[in-house]
Amino acid sequence: MNRPFEPIHTDQAPAAIGPYSQAVRAGELLFLSGQIPLDPASGELVGGDIDAQIAQAFDNLEAVARAAGGDLAHCVKINVYLTDLEDFSRVNAAMAERFAEPYPARAAVGVAALPKGAAVEVEAILRLPA
């Protein structure tokens, strides 16, 4: 079947844990699947506090973006899922370190649970350079 998109894969980010791609490129747009804070080498949830989990989720997104020829500076939209909305300020702090103005659009949603017991999941849409 001829698909209107190109799947993206890198070993520098955790392998998909279901029937989906790490990302798909459709023209200049890159749709990154949600990343939880899994260590790419072990496939296990990273230890540490929420800051470590947030950092790993963004590191995983960055690895997939780079595999497609971009980086997080190309983000136009980010969705963040948190099992505890009290951690929202920690996401803001992490984003302030990783992004510069103009910031991407963003949504943050409180959820009951995430795969593998993660506290955070982040997905993104990028507009890649031509």
- What value does the mean pLDDT of the chain take? 96
Residue 2 has pLDDT above 90, yes or no: no
Q: In the numeric block, which tokens belong to residue 75? A: 């983000």
Catalogue all structural domains in the chain, each as residue range(s) with its CATH number.
6-127 (3.30.1330.40)
1 pLDDT above the threshold of 70: no
Residue 77, Cβ density class (10 Å: 0-12 exposed, 13-18 middle, ≥19 buried)? middle
Q: How confident is the model at residue 129 (pLDDT cuts 50, 70, 90)?
A: confident
- Please give the model's pTM, rounded to 2 decimal places: 0.95
Give the 3-state secondary structure of residue 67: helix
Distance CA 74, CA 112 (A): 30
In sequence order, what are the beta bridge partners of 35? 122
- The answer to whether residue 5 scores a pLDDT higher than 70 is yes
pLDDT for 106 beyond 90: yes
Cα–Cα dist 40/29, whole Å? 24
Query: For the segment 31-90, what is each residue's pLDDT rounded down to a tens digit?
Result: 999 999 999 999 999 988 999 999 999 999 999 999 999 999 999 999 999 999 999 999
